[in-house]
A and B are shown apart, each in its own frame.
Chain A
Amino acid sequence: MMSLRHEIRSLSSSVRTATDEQIALVVATIDRMEMRGVADALVAPLRGRLRALAVPRPRQLRRLCFEPLDSLIVDSAVWKRAQPFVPRSALVPLFEIMQRENPELCDGGQLLVGPESYPSGRAQLCAKLWLDGARALQSSPAPANWRQTSGLADADYYAIRSVVVVILEQADRLCRLDPRAEERQILAELREILTAAAQGGALAWQAMLVLLFSQSDFVALAVRLGQELATTSALAVGLDAAFKSVSAVLQGKLDLLGDSVSVAPMELANMVDIIVDLEAAAGPRSERKRTAEVLRRNASQLCAKAVARVVEQELIPALKRDGNEPQPEVQSIAETAARSVRALGLVAERLGVSDKYDARARAVVVHLTDTGNCFDPIDRARLLEILGRGSEAQEVLRAFYAARALIV
């Protein structure tokens, strides 16, 4: 008989290759369970995809409290000491301290997660929640049950606390960062955030850099400012370490996307933005440059693979359907696939590998010029246009209008 651990492992591996809809279903089922226990292990391999899929999760005060740290939270099994991340197993005891030291925290917080959630003034309530949480942790020694609940050593508590406190203290500022604001305004905000992080210790500085490097809107400015503010050797080492950590995170995400059956073009586009900015900011530091180049290469491969998959498995099969099938449904499937292909093509362009995309797009054009499928000329012209083949689309349209004029 298969042991529970084996069963979970086997389930986890099948969940890893599940479709988006299946994932949403699994997560919703687990979220409804009162006692999640080992079922949580099923969600673990999916966490990377959950954000991209925007699967609605139940509102929990604990989740809200640690929301600003989201991209720093890692599975406890992969967490390592002296790295700027927070193991998931630490969240429960940390939250207990925040609640114990600050009972009114719950009252305000419950407003945000209750049935009438997202009331007006949410931003102010969140800001208070995070700041009070940071203060509560700041003055608390390691709790007696720390080892038991988190599975970590007491020394780890202080290292993790230094990261959590700084991020929560700056959380409101981080939330208010507006990518559309003027550059000097963003720089001023980032300077204050990073200066505060530098004062919080080497690990907090690293963590803040990782957090900012993970946001495509701010990575370029954060690297620039990080270099400027890294005036001591400890901070410079921290900057290098942050660069490495982010690269590892990005590589992990690329691996995850590579394993999954579908690649969300916008998620990949976002990652590519970060990679391109990191590479541009790598400057003369050859190690950073090399790391960024490897990431770019891997992203390019993933992009090419994703384009090939959507074209071969979604778009061309839709185009090969015969004229007896209901047109609106098939056109809708084909249009969605064509949009994904085009979006991936634009990502490929940003990566400088659009030739691979062009080759695939040419194969689609051949199918679209075949009049034996269920698409009328307007639909075919539109699909060509979505794929970025404007001149071919116009040709199809011109031929159609010319034929129509003859009939008239």
Chain B
Amino acid sequence: MRTTLIERFQPATFVERGVAIPFTTPMLSGTRARPDDRSGMELVVPNPGSGQGVYVFNWSHLAKFCQPSLHDLALTERVAALRSLTPATIRRVSREVATEGLAGREVALAADRSRGDDEQATVVTNYHLLVRLMRQIAANDPSKFPAERESALLVQRRARESIAIIAPQIGLLPDQLAVNLEELAEICLRVGVGNAGITAQAPLMIKELHRFRAGIAAWVAARDGDRADQARYILSEADALLELAEPLVAASQRRAFDVMQLLRDYSAAPAKLAAEFARTDWLLDGWALMCARWRAAPPDQYDEVIEELAAMLPPMPAEALEWGYRLSVGIERIYRRHVPAGHDWRTGLLAFQGIERGEQALRLTFESAA
């Protein structure tokens, strides 16, 4: 009989699974942070030997676990100071830390650019919501439809009129409704509204996942052995994720189409609506970094990267089953890692090069977000 002493990490909820932290230290690859009643935050680190199970410890003990990079130390401290741990807040903090230059100037530049683009995307989303709202109000009178290319002043006037009409219907003052629209823009930003439905982060991430999937599938086609099995497992997880994420993003985009209803729902229960739209974010959390790792690797390093990715694979919490997630069957996950004999793979030359690879991947995540 085979006895397994270390159990596989199988969280019940996404919060329990934690949020992926884009660390650059190879030993911390795939690490997640989750709230802890006592200390505020704990880290969930995949077994560095790529065996089953995870290490769970208070964030303040990070330096005892391994020698983290300066970027990772600063990032951990900022993340620990957060009141709410969500993929969105981690993204913001990660960008702040990267902009300072602790992961190098190239990463800082990419992070800074992505911040500007995000701010612009929020304004655009707000505009699309407003235009959509105006169209909904003027549905019975096509003459009042906002033209495709109207002057900014005319759009502003029409917007004010529309807000004045809809606000009493929802039981809000016009100013409050304008604020709500701005907050809705933040909520809908990731899935995209109107024209941004193609260029928003979630649809772009889906596209990136398809590319990632195709790349690994091509690599694994003529291979066998442990790594090929690990790659096939990654593929099956990516497939299951796409099967769930694609309709979810499409449904969220459809939902954002009815802005009046969205405003009503938001006024009634803002947290509920925010949570509904954040589903894709939680679902796709951690995959951007995995895609970037794959993209940053030269073909002669694919073997090592496949092992890294297999270790980074986020476990799907039971909560996802309620959203329609199907478990992978028939493909067993392999917990194994090959290390070169006689080399210090945790602190030696390999680890040193690993940090550089981690920084490149981090840069790519910001560039994909731009």
A331, closest chain B residue (CB): B105
Residues of chain B within 8 A (CB-CB) of A347 are 349
What's the tally of chain A residues with a CB closer than 8 Å to chain B? 32
**Alpha-carbon distance between A98 and B71 when the two chains are bound, in angstroms:** 57
Query: Is there a chain A Cβ closer than 8 Å to B69's Cβ?
Result: yes
Which among B69, B104, B342 is the interface contact of A335 at CB below 8 angstroms? B104
- Give the interface centre of B100, B225, B303, B349 by most chain A CB atoms within 10 Å: B349
Interface residues of A in 324-356 (CB under 8 A from B): 328, 331-332, 335, 339, 342-343, 346-347, 349-350
Interface string of A249-278 (1 = CB under 8 A from B): 000000000000000000001000100110
Which among A332, A343, A394 is the interface contact of B352 at CB below 8 angstroms? A343
Interface residues of B in 68-103 (CB under 8 A from A): 69-70, 73-74, 100-102
- Minimum Cβ distance to chain A for residue B350 (Å): 9
If A179-B340, A181-B225, A220-B341 touch, whether A394 touches B70 (CB-CB below 8 Å) is: yes
A381-B73 in contact (CB<8A): no
A382-B70 in contact (CB<8A): yes
B67-A220 in contact (CB<8A): no
Residues of chain A within 8 A (CB-CB) of B116 are none
Interface residue tally of chain B, by bracket? 20 to 34
B349-A346 in contact (CB<8A): yes
Interface string of B258-300 (1 = CB under 8 A from A): 0000000000000000000000000000000000000000000
**Alpha-carbon distance between A273 and B340 when the two chains are bound, in angstroms:** 11
Residues of chain B within 8 A (CB-CB) of A349 are 348
**Alpha-carbon distance between A382 and B100 when the two chains are bound, in angstroms:** 11
**Alpha-carbon distance between A385 and B101 when the two chains are bound, in angstroms:** 13
Interface residues of B in 333-363 (CB under 8 A from A): 338, 340-342, 348-349, 352, 356
Query: Is there a chain A Cβ closer than 8 Å to B213's Cβ?
Result: no
Interface string of A168-194 (1 = CB under 8 A from B): 000000000011111000000000000
Query: Is there a chain A Cβ closer than 8 Å to B190's Cβ?
Result: no
Query: Is there a chain B Cβ closer than 8 Å to A393's Cβ?
Result: yes
B68, closest chain A residue (CB): A390
**Alpha-carbon distance between A217 and B303 when the two chains are bound, in angstroms:** 15
Query: Is there a chain B Cβ closer than 8 Å to A397's Cβ?
Result: yes
Interface residues of A in 268-308 (CB under 8 A from B): 269, 273, 276-277, 280
B352-A381 in contact (CB<8A): no
Interface string of B41-83 (1 = CB under 8 A from A): 0000000000000000000000000010110011000000000
Query: Is there a chain A Cβ closer than 8 Å to B17's Cβ?
Result: no
Q: Give the A-B contact count at a CB cut-off of 8 A.
A: 51
A220-B105 in contact (CB<8A): no
If A180-B227, A346-B352 touch, whether A277 touches B342 (CB-CB below 8 Å) is: yes
Query: Is there a chain B Cβ closer than 8 Å to A378's Cβ?
Result: yes
Residues of chain B within 8 A (CB-CB) of A339 are 356
A123, closest chain B residue (CB): B222
Residues of chain B within 8 A (CB-CB) of A379 are 101
A385-B303 in contact (CB<8A): no
- Minimum Cβ distance to chain B for residue A318 (Å): 14
- Minimum Cβ distance to chain B for residue A402 (Å): 13
A381, closest chain B residue (CB): B70
Interface string of B195-236 (1 = CB under 8 A from A): 000000000000000000000000000000111000000000
B338, closest chain A residue (CB): A180
Residues of chain A within 8 A (CB-CB) of B303 are 178, 180
**Alpha-carbon distance between A349 and B348 when the two chains are bound, in angstroms:** 9
Residues of chain B within 8 A (CB-CB) of A343 are 349, 352
A378-B73 in contact (CB<8A): no
- Give the interface centre of A339, A349, A378 by most chain B CB atoms within 10 Å: A378
Which among A182, A346, A393 is the interface contact of B70 at CB below 8 angstroms? A393
**Alpha-carbon distance between A269 and B341 when the two chains are bound, in angstroms:** 15
**Alpha-carbon distance between A342 and B347 when the two chains are bound, in angstroms:** 12
Interface string of A96-136 (1 = CB under 8 A from B): 00000000000000000000000000000000000000000
- Minimum Cβ distance to chain B for residue A379 (Å): 7
B227, closest chain A residue (CB): A180
Residues of chain A within 8 A (CB-CB) of B338 are 180
- Minimum Cβ distance to chain A for residue B102 (Å): 6
Residues of chain B within 8 A (CB-CB) of A346 are 348-349, 352
Residues of chain A within 8 A (CB-CB) of B352 are 342-343, 346
Which among A217, A273, A331, A378 is the interface contact of B102 at CB below 8 angstroms? A378
**Alpha-carbon distance between A346 and B345 when the two chains are bound, in angstroms:** 12
**Alpha-carbon distance between A347 and B344 when the two chains are bound, in angstroms:** 11
Residues of chain B within 8 A (CB-CB) of A328 are 105
11 examples of A-B residue contacts, CB within 8 angstroms: A178-B303, A180-B303, A220-B341, A328-B105, A335-B104, A347-B349, A350-B348, A378-B101, A382-B101, A385-B70, A390-B67
Interface residues of A (CB under 8 A from B): 178-182, 217, 220, 269, 273, 276-277, 280, 328, 331-332, 335, 339, 342-343, 346-347, 349-350, 378-379, 381-382, 385, 390, 393-394, 397
Across the A-B interface, give the 6 residue pairs with the lowest CB-CB distance, nearest first: A346-B349, A378-B101, A180-B338, A385-B70, A180-B303, A393-B70
